Amino acid sequence: MAEVRAGRKREKGLTAVLKIENLHKSFGGVSAINDVSMQFAPGSLTAVIGPNGAGKTSFFNLISGAMRPDSGRILFDGENIAGLSAPTIVRRGIGRAFQIASIFSSLTVREAILGAVNAHRRWYARLGRRFPLAEAQAQADEVMELVGLTATADTLSGNLSHGDQKVLDIALALALEPRVLLLDEPTAGMGPEERWQMMETVHQLWERKQMTLIFIEHDMDIVFKFAQTIHVLSYGRVLAEGTAEEVRRNPKVIEAYLGAKYDAEHA
């Protein structure tokens, strides 16, 4: 218990739980990420936006360990995690849900989440067992309740609607008990009403878990409504950052991404 209290005190005193310093990544001589620096405060809700090819997914790939940076630092709780493997970064406390939902289509919702819980806790002997540990079951039930999947617990994951599959992908990331959660276009492929429902779910999840949440999104109405802070990438560089109002009115962002039409319509 003393260790938990100490950990909470350290986190509370942090100005940034995740800090990116001078990050670089190139592919065949082309810079995908070019001298990017950002900070994310504990418990913050942040959007990363930019045109296609701006480097947003590459940025997430570097943070989550899917790719190694060429240079720069990724500080999580003050420790440089740049270049660590994806499983190691997950165990440190950074989770991710993907643009294309990565689910176990032949398992029920409950079975998929239980599998994630058991794998994260390294209860490998329990994987596939008919009767899960009570602790694992309780955690799976909590995750399903958090994201609103309790009613579909016994539904095959592959039979879920597109929106519910995206929610399940988030649930699988939550089962890994992250302190920082990365959501790569959580509303991709959804209709207007479904997009807003998804972001309401994400916002409620953020409020209840009080985690640091970072999301990539193309729908600017959603970004400006939900994000506390916005970072804008363009050609792999940070173009601008600030509140919704600051980014919305930034001439560089209007020229490179939003366009004069959007600015006029939302004046």
Q: How confident is the model over 28-57, as pLDDT tens digits?
A: 889 999 999 999 999 999 999 999 889 999
Give the model's pLDDT for residue 262: 59
Structure tokens at 110: 């409950």
CA dist., res. 102 & res. 168, Å (int): 9
Tell me the helices (H) and strands (E) count for the chain, helix number first: 11, 10
Structure tokens at 198: 């998804």
Count CB atoms within 10 A of the CB of residue 251: 9
CATH top-level class of 16-103+160-265: alpha beta
| List of the chain residues with pLDDT < 50 | 1-13, 123-126
Residue given tokens 């592919």 in the structure block: 27
What 8-state DSSP symbol labels residue 252? H
Give the model's pLDDT for residue 9: 36
Contact 127, 119 (CB under 8 A): yes
Q: Is the model's pTM score more than 0.75? A: yes
Residue given tokens 């399940």 in the structure block: 168
CA dist., res. 180 & res. 44, Å (int): 9
SS3 80: strand
Give the model's pLDDT for residue 15: 84
For 231-243, how does the pLDDT look when each residue is reduced to its tens digit (9 = 90+)? 999 999 999 999 9
What percent of the chain is helix, strand and coil (3-state, nearest 5)?
45, 25, 30
Give the model's pLDDT for residue 176: 87
For 91-124, how does the pLDDT look when each residue is reduced to its tens digit (9 = 90+)? 999 999 876 666 778 899 998 998 888 877 764 4
Structure tokens at 184: 């790569």
Contact 38, 229 (CB under 8 A): no
List all residues 6 or more positions away from 149 whose beta carbon is below 8 Å from its beta carbon.
109, 164, 167, 168, 171
Give the model's pLDDT for residue 189: 87
Q: Side chain identity at 108, as an amino acid letter?
A: T
